[in-house]
Structure 1
Amino acid sequence: MKRLLAVLALATAVFTGGAMAQEDFPNRPIRMVVPFAAGGSTDIVARIVAAKMGDILKQPVVVENRAGAGGNAGAAAVAKAAPDGYTILMGTVATHAINPALYTKMPYDPVKDFAPVSLLVNVPNVVVVHPSLNVKTTAELIALLKANPDKYEYASSGVGTPLHLSGALFESMAGVKMVHVPYKGAGPAKVDLLSGQVKIMFDNLPSSIGAIRKGDVVGIAVTTKDRSPAAPDMPTVSESGLPGYETYSWNAIFAPAGTPTAIIDKLAKACMEAVADPAVKAKLADLSAVTVGSTPAQLDAHVKAEIAKWTPVVKASGASIND
């Protein structure tokens, strides 16, 4: 009997201690891993949101850049971290939808190894062309490409990147053929677009909006379902010639699988409050990012839908990375 009572007492202590730990969460700094280099759009979004989350949670949320393998290195580190809420990931369409189809060897499962927390923002892409192409709408671009298969090149930030696959999806849905020219990043690709070395590019709207406003390139259309508040006069690809087309980048918070629901809920609440803050919304809007602030369940559904969407696009593009 004494042994039984001792076991029950230990179990009660463990249960109570775990419950108290969840109740007190967080009681030390939280590490937010950004799986890309500092200075990019994902890093900027992370730092804006992390600062506000720290205010809300009364503990610092420290951004740690852990780049490598197209985002896989940082994502894998979080997947293997202790499921206690103190290590979280700023995930993207690359880490959770594209890379699983692109890389022949993945160090994590995007669904099984993570607990969804909150979808923070959507970032529109944009179809931009050199002025010498003399097209101003999606319909005109499609007509030109259909009349000249494989004549025109489009630039991207690299093989298998969201920008490459945005072009591949456009080709597939429009029934056109272009020559893909991958660069080592969006910067070099933009240089050749501006010079006219390549005529077409699928880019993140934040990085092209300045050149569009100056008239250095022509913004044909944004790739999201709805028009962007940052460029309200620019139509969407879907409404201007290719119905149903939609691509965009996104940023979302994930925790390691097995993180207690109570902690996930606290993190999600902090995320939603952070992106709803007027000052944060204004900063994100300057980046052309559209705030969301979803529930964990909504992010879970979003990731599964994105995997279903991008897997066939990656396969059809022929892109594959052995890493």
Structure 2
Amino acid sequence: MRGEGQSAGTISTGTGRFAFAAVDRSTSAGNPDWSIRPRWYAVAFHDLPKTGGGRTDLAGFLAAALAVLALASLAIAYHWQRRVEADAKAWELAERLEVDNRALAAVNRELEAFSYSVSHDLRTPLRSIDGFSLALAEDHSDALDPEGRRYLERIRSAAQRMGQLIDDLLGLARVTRSELRLQSVDVSDLANSVISALEPDHAVAWQVQPGLVAEADARLLRIVLENLLGNAAKFTARTKDARVTVGSRWDQDGPVYFVRDNGAGFDMEHAGRLFGAFQRLHAGEDYAGTGVGLATVQRIVNRHGGRIWAEAAPGQGASFFFTLGKTGK
């Protein structure tokens, strides 16, 4: 039998010789419970006398059985080790995920603190600038010459534009952090509601395809339509017979919603800048805006698992297409 510390050897019996070997489990996956329980693998060889067919048959059967058991033990040990290694990797990934989640929670807390600071600490002086400028213009405009009054108006305009920029930045942060609440949304009805709230300075022929439905967050989808329809109204201001269309088409992944206008359009060479924050393709004096709206739209679409892109040509209008992942209908 096996001696102290022996890991390989042979045993002679009346029917033949059997070779054996042991593999210590402590070498596998670092499991401490295995260090005291070695796994045995045995391979049998028989050296039989030439007489006695019954003994020959019995020895052959025993040798074959031991060989099968040895192979089965090898297979079980291999798959068990693979499982232990997989479990170890899973634990490592779980620990890493927990660390990442804690880091993400800390970043979110910092972002909330920053948003609060922006909302209160920066707005307060802006309101003071705008308020005192208005008081100066109303109560002491007679003491100012035309150039002074023009400077005062520029101060008020800049303060108001900065206030709008702060609002847009806060909105961009909110859509990134807010919880996504999916529900069936009547996109046609939502678009008509947004249109009714718009007050463009020029006549626009609005056309909304009936029966548009999507599985989306209704509040966030409204922000998408407010930005896209507001831009369409803005960039058709210099267009005779301005037209804006809301509709959809189907491709292999489902519905593709679009907002199309026949306004100013843009050069597709600059399309890569469209959805970046503070990116503008038109001069501020021609078309007002902060350059944050389309960045907000893209983040909302991304949160729904969709994508957004545009097609346009200078002077021929623009079409903005977006999907909502697999949620649209």
Using structure 1 for the length normalisation, give the TM-score: 0.21
Greater fraction helix? 2
Structure with the larger RCO, 1 or 2 (CA within 8 Å, 6+ apart):
1
Mark the structure with the bigger radius of gyration. Answer: 2
